[in-house]
Amino acid sequence: MAVFEDLSLQERMLLSFEAQEFLYREAALLDEKKLDEWLALLTEDIHYWMPLRRTTTAKEVDREFTRPGDMALFDDDLQTLNLRVRRLGMGRAWAEDPPSRTRRMVTNIRILRCEGDEILTTCNFQLYRTRLNSEEDSWIGRREDLLRRVDGELRLARRHIFLEQTVILAQNMSNLF
Amino acid sequence: MAESLIATGRAPWFDVEHGVLDRRIYTDPDIYAEELEKIFARAWNFVCHETQIPDPGDFFMNYIGEDEVIVVRDRSGAIQVLLNSCPHRGNTVCRAEQGHTNSFLCSYHGWNFDLTGGLIGMPGEDTFYRNDVDKSEWGLGRAAQVASYKGFVFATLDPEAPPLEDYLGWVGRLGIDTLATHGDLVAVDGVVKNRIKCNWKLAVDNLYDWYHVKISHGSALRAGLLTDEAMAPMDQMVILGEYGHGIGGPGMSEEQQAEFDARMASGKGEPQWYDLQAQRRLDPAVRETLGPIGTRCLGHPNIFPNLWIALTRQVCLRIPRGPFETELWWFTFMPKDISEEERRHTMFMANHVFGPAGLLEQDDGENWSHSTRGARGTVTRRQPLNFSMGRGHDRVEDDASGQHRIETVVNEHGQRWTYQAWQEWMLADNWQELIANHSMPPKGVV
Ligand code: FES
Ligand SMILES: [Fe+2]
């Protein structure tokens, strides 16, 4: 296992740059609604997960997020992500017709670990969405993305999304994070 | 028309005979304030499932209308429903959505309350208060009555409310039984919550609405998440109960039930849209509980006012947040002792059908928020809404089963019944009046 900190500065810069470019490109595909191209960046075994979050006392803050296998806002594999994208293209996907407008900011990207073909990254994000004339949603959170090199190209193998929100203050989450 | 209807407060908002609704009931702030008083503060409200708070000290926070309540298991194992407001200045004594505690310590001046709401400590009780406060009189407010039916805990803030089982009646009980008969239920961790800018009644009325499915959820059907046949079958069954409870949606005809039973016995025949739900009712004990009609009934129960029991082993509370906003809370249940495959299927449905990211429910919110918006225009809101579908064309079957029901096509009987009951609740000044004047479920032609 290569510990990121043990790599040379140049190696770290190259790896960081590559991960960052990947995450920016992938965010742009979502903003531009090029969802098929986005799907093509995912590995077969992708786990796309957004647990629920609730307000707890400080003493019980370890129970703040639901655990894998319990209730979640997203708990998707490649098949269900495909289904989400397919559904949007079917017509009568009213939450996105007229389409909402989204812009994603991805910042504070750090590499937590790298091992073999995999790079575990964390980043902060903001997803800003407007709809019709006056509706506005903004989600800020942290992601842990596992990137894997497949045939020389980076792919997204895992995305865990931790939102800074408990009750979702939006009428839907018809977009991807 | 109608300018005076709301002003008098006694004239009908809902014309029961024609199925025509004055849409101002969605936006009028005075009507909303009255709903909190006459409906939520009076009804039995679902507060949580027993398995969410298994041990003494476990608590879950909920709302009854806009009253915040702490549902907590006390040291004797009983469930208490306490108003989350300190009687000193009114501060909340519990800020977490769920958790475990030994007592509720107010963060303002430190009054401390035990798990039954009793005041057990006040800083300076002797030095500042000179021991002249009778602590037994200054505990947290409590729900007037708390009871549970098959693990589902309800509370009412009105001491005059009839006992829970009477309140539910056979229709409300059957509604809960449709879920409770899935097995020994345990709540899955995590209540999915989101806010929609709609009036709570529009969300409630939608649970009976099998008319919108093919349009609103057209994309999910086209994408193959669910089949057309299962989502909007021609065979529908509606069961109406006292105080506004009801069940509406798909129902197997007697022929379909016979076909299903024969197919299960012989192992031959084609799968049908009703198989999944019907299979859960193969056990004779389950059929005994549901009764012959309940066994064929696959619709959506609503426990008036706002608890929808969904077919996905979930229930959804629609909590009012002012006339223009509603919070949806999804609770999910897992029967003990089911196969790993069935467990996965339950979680798949729970995490992909409803909730804000649900492939079905994503498309509901905007319809409800825009329907609410439609009642805000000065002139627009004077235009009544049509709830007439099926009116006068159906008949209540009432036979030896004792389970009266309407067997028909897609219809708006459930919605009409909801608004009729809503109106009766709003016109009654207290439980006595409501008990005396509420409509019994209709007979004959409806
Ligand atoms: S408000 Fe609770 S102790 Fe003062
Ligand atoms: Fe719907």
Tens-place pLDDT, residues B234-249: 999 999 999 999 999 9
CA dihedral (B422, B63, B374, B390) in degrees, to 10, reads: -40
Torsion B142-B148-B151-B154 (CA) sign: negative
Work out the minimum CA distance from B52 to partner chain A, whole angstroms. Answer: 13
For the stretch A16-41, pLDDT in tens is: 999 999 999 999 999 999 999 999 99
Find the farthest-apart pair of alpha carbons in chain A and give their distance in angstroms, rounded: 53
Work out the minimum CA distance from A86 to partner chain B, whole angstroms. Answer: 6
- Amino acid making up residue B30: D
Helix (H, G, I), strand (E, B) or coil at B326: strand
User: Do A87 and B223 meet the contact criterion of CB atoms below 8 Å apart?
Assistant: yes
User: Do A169 and A135 meet the contact criterion of CB atoms below 8 Å apart?
Assistant: no
In a domain, A83, yes or no: yes
CA–CA separation, B163 and A166 (whole Å): 35
User: Between vectors from CA A140 to CA A136 and to CA A142, what angle results, nearest 5°?
Assistant: 155
Nearest bound ligand to the CA of residue B209? 2
- The domains located in chain B, with CATH, are 45-148 (2.102.10.10), 170-445 (3.90.380.10)
In a domain, A175, yes or no: no
Task: For B98, name the nearest residue in chain A, comparing CA atoms only.
Answer: A56
Residue A156 domain boundaries: 4-163
- Amino acid making up residue B181: T
For the stretch B85-123, pLDDT in tens is: 999 999 999 999 999 999 999 999 999 999 999 999 999
For residue B51, how far is its CA from the centre of ligand 2 (angstroms)?
Answer: 28
Phi-psi region of B150 (alpha: psi -120 to 50; beta: other; left: phi over 0): left
Q: Do A172 and B197 touch (CB under 8 A)?
A: no
Neighbour-count burial of B267, counting CB atoms closer than 10 A to its CB (0-12 exposed, 13-18 middle, 19+ buried):
exposed
In a domain, A120, yes or no: yes
B232: CB partners within 8 A, 6+ apart: B210, B213, B214, B410
DSSP for residue B439: P
In a domain, A176, yes or no: no
- Chain B residue numbers with beta carbons less than 8 Å from the beta carbon of A52 are 190-192
Task: For B365, name the nearest residue in chain A, comparing CA atoms only.
Answer: A171
Query: Is it true that the peptide bond before B305 is cis, omega within 30 degrees of 0?
Result: yes
Return the pLDDT at B12.
Answer: 84
**Of the candidates B27, B134, B157, B146, the residue with the CA atom closest to the CA atom of residue B77:** B146
Query: Is it true that the peptide bond before B123 is cis, omega within 30 degrees of 0?
Result: no
Is the Cβ of A152 closer than 8 Å to some Cβ of chain B?
Answer: no
Cβ neighbours of B10 (radius 10 Å): 8
Nearest bound ligand to the CA of residue B213? 2
**Of the candidates A17, A139, A108, the residue with the CA atom closest to the CA atom of residue B356:** A139
In a domain, A168, yes or no: no
- Amino acid making up residue B437: N
For the stretch B389-416, pLDDT in tens is: 999 999 999 999 999 999 999 999 999 9
Low-confidence ranges of chain B (pLDDT < 50): 1-9
Asked if pLDDT for residue A63 goes beyond 70, the answer is yes
- Closest partner residue to A90 (CB to CB) among B97, B190, B219 is B219
Return the pLDDT at B6.
Answer: 46
- Chain A residue numbers with beta carbons less than 8 Å from the beta carbon of B332 are 71
**Of the candidates B443, B201, B418, the residue with the CA atom closest to the CA atom of residue B326:** B201
User: Do B390 and B411 meet the contact criterion of CB atoms below 8 Å apart?
Assistant: yes
Q: Do A73 and B188 touch (CB under 8 A)?
A: no
Nearest bound ligand to the CA of residue B362? 2
Average pLDDT of the residues in A116-120: 95
Percent of chain A having pLDDT more than 90?
Answer: 95
Helix (H, G, I), strand (E, B) or coil at B71: strand
- Distance, CA of B240 to chain centre: 15
Which tokens in the block code for residue B306? 């706002």
For the stretch B168-182, pLDDT in tens is: 999 999 999 999 999
H or E element at residue B193: strand B192-196
**Of the candidates B117, B15, B28, B125, the residue with the CA atom closest to the CA atom of residue B71:** B117
Torsion B120-B122-B125-B131 (CA) sign: negative
Q: What is the count of structural domains for chain A?
A: 1
Helix (H, G, I), strand (E, B) or coil at B316: strand
CA–CA separation, B306 and B435 (whole Å): 20
B132: CB partners within 8 A, 6+ apart: none
In a domain, A173, yes or no: no
- Distance, CA of A97 to chain centre: 23
Q: Do B195 and A169 touch (CB under 8 A)?
A: yes
In a domain, A33, yes or no: yes
User: Do B345 and B324 meet the contact criterion of CB atoms below 8 Å apart?
Assistant: no
DSSP A5-61: GGS-HHHHHHHHHHHHHHHHHHHHHHHTT-HHHHHTTEEEEEEEEEE-B----GGGG
**Of the candidates B207, B162, B179, the residue with the CA atom closest to the CA atom of residue B417:** B207
- Distance, CA of A52 to chain centre: 15
CA–CA separation, B106 and B414 (whole Å): 44
DSSP for residue B374: T
Is the Cβ of A168 closer than 8 Å to some Cβ of chain B?
Answer: yes
Q: Do A72 and B190 touch (CB under 8 A)?
A: yes
For residue A89, how far is its CA from the centre of ligand 2 (angstroms)?
Answer: 19
CA–CA separation, B159 and B407 (whole Å): 37
Which tokens in the block code for residue A149? 């090199």
pTM score: 0.97
Cβ neighbours of B381 (radius 10 Å): 17
- As for the ipTM of the complex, it is 0.96
Which tokens in the block code for residue B52? 């969410």
Which tokens in the block code for residue B365? 């919110």
Return the pLDDT at B11.
Answer: 59
Which tokens in the block code for residue B338? 């089911």
Return the pLDDT at B3.
Answer: 43
User: Do B218 and A90 meet the contact criterion of CB atoms below 8 Å apart?
Assistant: yes
CB pairs under 8 A between A and B: 130
In a domain, A116, yes or no: yes
Enumerate residues 58 to 97 of chain A having a beta carbon within 8 A of any beta carbon in chain B. Answer: 60, 63, 66-67, 69-76, 80, 83-84, 86-88, 90-95
CA–CA separation, B388 and B401 (whole Å): 29
Enumerate residues 178 to 217 of chain B having a beta carbon within 8 A of any beta carbon in chain A. Answer: 188-197, 215-217
DSSP for residue B162: P
User: Do B406 and B37 meet the contact criterion of CB atoms below 8 Å apart?
Assistant: no
* Residues contacting ligand 1 via CB (< 6 Å): B 86, 88-89, 91, 106, 108-111
User: Between vectors from CA B183 to CA B178 and to CA B184, what angle results, nearest 5°?
Assistant: 120
For residue B99, how far is its CA from the centre of ligand 1 (angstroms)?
Answer: 21
Helix (H, G, I), strand (E, B) or coil at A121: strand
For the stretch A82-105, pLDDT in tens is: 999 999 998 899 999 999 999 999
- Amino acid making up residue A82: N
- CATH number, domain of A8, equals 3.10.450.50
